[in-house]
Amino acid sequence: MASTASFIAQFNHRNIKILQHLGYEVHVAANFTHFGTSSSKSNQQFMQWLRVQHVVIHNVPIERRLGKFRQNISTLIILNHLMMKENYCFLHVHTPIASVLGRIVALKNHVPVIYTAHGFHFSKNSSKVNWFIFPIEWLLSFITDKLVLINQEDFLLARHYFHAKQIDYVPGVGVNFKLLSERQVDEHLLAKRELLKTLKLPKNSYLIIAVGELSKRKNHQVVVKALSILAMSNYHLVIAGRGKQRQSLLRLATQLGVANQIHFLDYRRDIRHFHLAADLAVLPSLREGLSRAGLEAVRDGVYLLGADIRGIRDYILNDEVGQVFNPRNANELAILIKKNIQRQKKGLSYSTESRLMKFDRTSVDKQMKEIYQSMGE
């Protein structure tokens, strides 16, 4: 039986099932000790799921960010030992640091590699500093068998500049877009009534949902500033996520006089319920690969105001779905919030729904199965 390893952070459970159905023994190598912004409970549940699925787990201290030189060397040694011992058929890497270390070790051990880039750090909207990473990705593309891009901007850039043996576009990890046609207006009213009661807010309140970790990259502060500009005390921002920026967001909200309009939900798994309750969704990120949070908002029927960046533009197809704004311009966002917060809930046209179905997990899984099959061949 063949085997494959995946060095992960943003991981798709369904990829494991696809590989197993193709006859592979699957190994997962990841940092299960320091697991980022997910909760400890979610991390434990994921590890338990892997054990139930008979996946071999390797706890490897891979850093999410650049990390220390000595730590990365130590990780390289661990990965090299692992690859020599297990005789892998191919390797699938995901996160930036894991992709660098994994490809280096795979080259040494003559193991083919798939790299799914969940959004390059460099893009049309990123700072010049981020483009210092470009030469590293360019160089490593020569030792990449399959490069998978999840948004159109990265895909076009990779096709023009990079040298992987094959370059594919797969629109993210996929979401269940079949739920798109299952929502009803009365679901929104019921969910909103429940959330208003939970938050102890008056019935005339309007709810804006923002999903994402509390970090500078997710840029929640621009929504706080927009609320301050609007000066509408019955507009409330509900943020689902955890991270280091919580206290600074609270300080900013207090300074701007809108602290009682900001509500933190921490990390949540029942996001659909909050989308159904929301009058509007905002995705103000400064950088994204292909934001699943935005796709799920669209799927759940909430109108989306998204940053005008790659990975969000891909699915805000028209005014039926939402509108884009400059993520550094709070005034522009404030205008869009006021214009759309009372928008009537209604379904999307058939043509728009059809175009969104490429993000459905069934379509994505079919593409990934073909990629894995070609690696086996």
317: which 2 tokens? 């197809």
- Cα 167 to Cα 148: distance, rounded to the nearest angstrom: 6
In SS3 terms, 272-300 reads as HHHHHHCCEEEECCCCCCCCHHHHHHHHC
Dihedral class, residue 170 (left if φ above 0, else alpha if ψ from -120 to 50, else beta): beta
Look over the chain and give the mean of its residue pLDDT values, rounded to a whole number.
Answer: 90
pLDDT tens for residues 217-265? Answer: 999 999 999 999 999 999 999 999 988 999 999 999 999 999 999 999 8
Fold of the 177-359 domain: Rossmann fold (3.40.50)
Domain residue extents for the chain: 3-174+360-376, 177-359
Query: Looking at the domain covering 3-174+360-376, what would its CATH class be?
Result: alpha beta
pLDDT tens for residues 177-186? Answer: 888 766 666 7
Q: How confident is the model at residue 345 (pLDDT cuts 50, 70, 90)?
A: confident
Q: How confident is the model at residue 38 (pLDDT cuts 50, 70, 90)?
A: low
* 124, 153 contact by CB (below 8 A): yes
User: Do 3-174+360-376 and 177-359 come out as alike in CATH topology?
Assistant: yes
Question: What integer is the mean pLDDT of 137-153?
Answer: 96
* 211, 297 contact by CB (below 8 A): yes
